């Protein structure tokens, strides 16, 4: 990894990385690559305008959740040498993410006024260090339930990709790490440089100086994730999400959990007030809506991709949930007309949030 100063020029953007044990490699890599491409006017990746270092109090490399290891560039030193300290989290369960020495170092960085950034579950680390008290935090919808269970007094948002709160920035993770990197590049170096990095990496989502207000991808069952406590229901929902083009029979889902179909129905009734097959259908329809909005597929292909036997069957169920035919949604009528429909959750039906006219 290229790092440090180029000659006597001080980089305008200096970033230090703390990698949690079993961190998310993709989030880290996206962040660093945007810095690399913004650091030099040519494609030489020289750290002229940006510098970056992986910091650790240990000489041993850190393991990503995928098994790849990353060696440190420097030991923990004076955090005041950096403009930003980025804490990249990853897996939550079964291990300590960082040690007490690193935790105290982050607290020292905060006392010096260095802006701290939590990426993915790095936000959990900042909260555990007492560095996010009385602040709103951005957490992925996927980890929202875990976060609320551990930090019930925090004000958490899961409908934004990242949240800039001055000297604290929290990020939902994944591709949103690129948004934060672009946000810093735009602030420190300029938007044209940020656009250059985005174009070279073929990031097709349009960058905006207001990128933090763009929405996270919607969860598989909008509006009910916070209410689900039973791990069997959570596991069933994950299997549903992973099997949309060829939906699994409910009896097979139940068998995977070691329970009967009737037991699974009771669990879903207690958790969300609906049958598992109804929730499964809503997950598939939610995904189909996203495909239509993105313009990736026509109605027939979206129906096939989400496991419906034919377009008419798909259209009937789609209209019952969203109020319009999928062909109208695909043409942009839901957002492209004044006074038309929006994709904002507006009402509830049998305990599950749905989308409707404002």
Query: Can you tell me the mean pLDDT for 288-309?
Result: 85
In this prediction, residue 279 carries a pLDDT of 92
Domain 13-213: give its CATH architecture: 3-Layer(aba) Sandwich (3.40)
Question: Can you list the alpha helix ranges (DSSP code H) found in 201-345?
Answer: 231-242, 250-257, 261-272, 276-294, 299-305, 311-322, 326-330
Q: Where are the domains of the chain?
A: 13-213, 225-355
Query: Does residue 80 surpass a pLDDT of 80?
Result: yes
Distance in angstroms (rounded) separating the CA atoms of residues 170 and 41? 29
Choice between 119 and 350, residue whose per-residue pLDDT is larger: 119
Residue 240's pLDDT band (boundaries 50, 70, 90)? confident
79, 109 Cβ separation under 8 angstroms: yes
Angstrom CA distances, 123 to 1, 119, 342, stand at: 25, 6, 30
pLDDT tens digits, 139-152:
987 787 788 889 98
Q: What is the 3-state secondary structure (H, E, C) of 120-175?
A: CCHHHHHHHCCCCCCCEEECCHHHHHHHHHHCCCCEEECCCCEEECCCEEEECCCC
Query: Does residue 333 surpass a pLDDT of 80?
Result: no
Provide the whole-model pTM. 0.65
Distance in angstroms (rounded) separating the CA atoms of residues 91 and 65? 7
Bridge partner list, 349:
352
Distance in angstroms (rounded) separating the CA atoms of residues 13 and 51? 6
Query: Does residue 260 surpass a pLDDT of 80?
Result: yes
In this prediction, residue 343 carries a pLDDT of 36
In this prediction, residue 211 carries a pLDDT of 46
The single-letter DSSP state of residue 259 is: S
With CA atoms as reference, report the closest residue to 122 among 83, 174, 81.
Answer: 174
pLDDT tens digits, 174-209:
889 999 999 999 999 998 899 888 888 877 654 555
Query: pLDDT averaged over the chain?
Result: 83
* Sign of the dihedral through C-alpha 252, 253, 256, 258: negative
Residue 158's pLDDT band (boundaries 50, 70, 90)? confident
Residue 340's pLDDT band (boundaries 50, 70, 90)? very low
- Candidates 3.40.50.2300, 3.40.1190.20, 3.30.43.10, 1.10.10.60; CATH matching 225-355: 1.10.10.60
């Amino acid at each position: 990894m290229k790092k440090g100063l180029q000659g006597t020029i001080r980089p305008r953007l200096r970033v230090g990385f703390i990698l949690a044990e079993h961190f998310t490699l993709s989030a880290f890599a996206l962040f660093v690559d945007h810095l690399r491409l913004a650091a030099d006017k040519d494609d030489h990746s020289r750290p002229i305008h940006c510098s970056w270092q992986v910091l650790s109090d240990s000489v041993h490399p850190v393991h990503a959740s995928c098994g790849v290891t990353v060696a440190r560039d420097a030991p923990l030193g004076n955090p005041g040498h950096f403009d930003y300290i980025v804490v990249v989290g990853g897996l939550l369960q079964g291990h300590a993410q960082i040690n007490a020495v690193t935790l105290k170092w982050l607290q020292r960085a905060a006392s010096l006024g260095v802006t701290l950034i939590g990426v993915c579950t790095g936000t959990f680390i900042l909260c555990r260090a007492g560095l996010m008290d009385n602040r709103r935090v951005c957490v992925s919808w996927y980890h929202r339930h875990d976060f609320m269970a551990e930090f019930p007094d925090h004000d958490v948002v899961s409908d934004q990709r990242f949240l800039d709160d001055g000297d604290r920035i929290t990020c939902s993770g994944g591709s949103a790490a690129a948004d934060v990197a672009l946000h810093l590049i735009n602030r420190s170096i300029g938007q044209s440089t940020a656009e250059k990095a985005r174009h070279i990496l073929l990031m097709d989502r349009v960058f905006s100086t207001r990128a933090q207000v763009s929405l996270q991808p919607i969860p598989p069952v909008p509006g009910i994730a916070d209410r689900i406590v039973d791990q069997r229901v959570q596991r069933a929902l994950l299997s549903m999400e992973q099997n949309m083009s060829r939906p699994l029979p409910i009896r097979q889902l139940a068998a995977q959990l070691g329970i009967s179909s009737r037991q699974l129905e009771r669990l879903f009734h207690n958790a969300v007030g609906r049958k598992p097959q109804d929730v499964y259908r809503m997950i598939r329809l939610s995904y189909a809506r996203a495909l239509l909005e993105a313009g990736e597929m026509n109605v027939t292909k979206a129906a096939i991709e989400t496991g419906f036997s034919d377009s008419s069957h798909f259209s009937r169920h789609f209209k019952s949930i969203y109020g319009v035919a999928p062909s109208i949604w695909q043409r942009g009528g839901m957002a492209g007309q004044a006074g038309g429909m929006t994709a904002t959750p507006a009402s509830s039906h049998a305990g599950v949030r749905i989308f409707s006219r404002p």
